[in-house]
Structure 1
């Protein structure tokens, strides 16, 4: 049986407040259900696992992203923008949690929309952060696919990605178009390679 490949990595610890802020951001991008009844970072506006359950924070902390060293600063910027938003909207923020976490889901969406709007001077940072959150859900880029499926990854499960065969390889017994498009070349080997 094939073993999973190990991706060399360095994951950055950013602290509890930055983690909660970035979890709330990820949950705004791909919402999911609360992990426990008092979960404040995940708003719980959707059934099943969202970006947080899919490992968005693990992906963001992965050094392959190139933004791993700036996550604490991005979280601080989110907090600063949230405080400015709350001031403009006349919202009182619960000081026991980071500012973005204190917002309700609809207000979180408004902050994200404001920061990702064309013309915003920091738009590129926020779009990149959002893309990585989406990537964690859509592709589990930080995990080997077979491992992600074995762990019940919510995004791959939602898309209907099947598990590999016992040898770790995927084989498609039915053609994607519902029919075979061409006959194999007569010199094709048993492994599928051209002769």
Structure 2
């Protein structure tokens, strides 16, 4: 729940159900959590997987301190970070990612991967992400593949062809 709440603070989304405590519901549509932030964070390729348990403990310690400093009553039924309101979560994350914070690097890293899950669906093949209705790719208007699963672009991104294809390029676009 703590990692979901952190990811939702970075790229907010709508609650998944009425009792959802991790996702604050600060925005409509799917955010980082719906985009698969936890799957990306847990992926061994990120290098974060072995540190996630420690990050959760440390983030909740910071949330407990933040709550005490701001006269907030910590919840008994959810982890301290999850129990913070969305504005308080945002304020704490801003504090943790500030240039002068000694732990900035690890919190910025966690934020970057949360954002990456939304912006790119890096833990999924792009075609698979579209099949699953990936909210980030849809929100940024990423081009969908054709019915055959291939991407073709009838117009050039710069408004003109930049170069002719190599003469030995195959019909599928592969170099010969």
TM-score by length of 2: 0.93
TM-score by length of 1: 0.85
* Alpha-carbon offset, residue 165 of structure 1: 2.5
- Unaligned 5+ residue runs, structure 2? none
Cα separation, 2, equivalents of 1:91 and 1:132? 29
Cα separation, 2, equivalents of 1:194 and 1:146? 22
- 1:158 equivalent in alignment to 2:158: no
Aligned to 2:127: 146
Aligned to 1:187: 167
* Alpha-carbon offset, residue 119 of structure 1: 1.4
* Alpha-carbon offset, residue 168 of structure 1: 2.8
Q: Deviations over 1:78-124 (max 9, x none)?
A: 00000111111111011110000100000000110010001111100
Aligned to 1:34: 15
For the structure 1 residues 185 and 79, does the alpha-carbon distance in structure 2 shift closer, same or farther, using more than 3 Å as the test?
Answer: closer
- 1:110 equivalent in alignment to 2:91: yes
Number of residue pairs aligned between Structure 1 and Structure 2: 175
Aligned to 1:62: 43
* Alpha-carbon offset, residue 159 of structure 1: 1.1
Cα separation, 1, equivalents of 2:108 and 2:125? 25
- Unaligned 5+ residue runs, structure 1? 1-19
Any conservation in 2 of the 1:187–1:194 contact (CA below 8 Å)?
no
Q: Deviations over 1:24-78 (max 9, x none)?
A: 0000000000000110000001000000000000111111111101111100000
For residues 99-138 of structure 1, the aligned pairs below 5 Å read 99-138=80-119
User: Is the partner of 1:171 in helix, strand or coil?
Assistant: coil
For the structure 1 residues 185 and 71, does the alpha-carbon distance in structure 2 shift closer, same or farther, using more than 3 Å as the test?
Answer: closer
Cα separation, 2, equivalents of 1:62 and 1:131? 14
Any conservation in 2 of the 1:21–1:100 contact (CA below 8 Å)?
yes
Cα separation, 2, equivalents of 1:61 and 1:180? 41
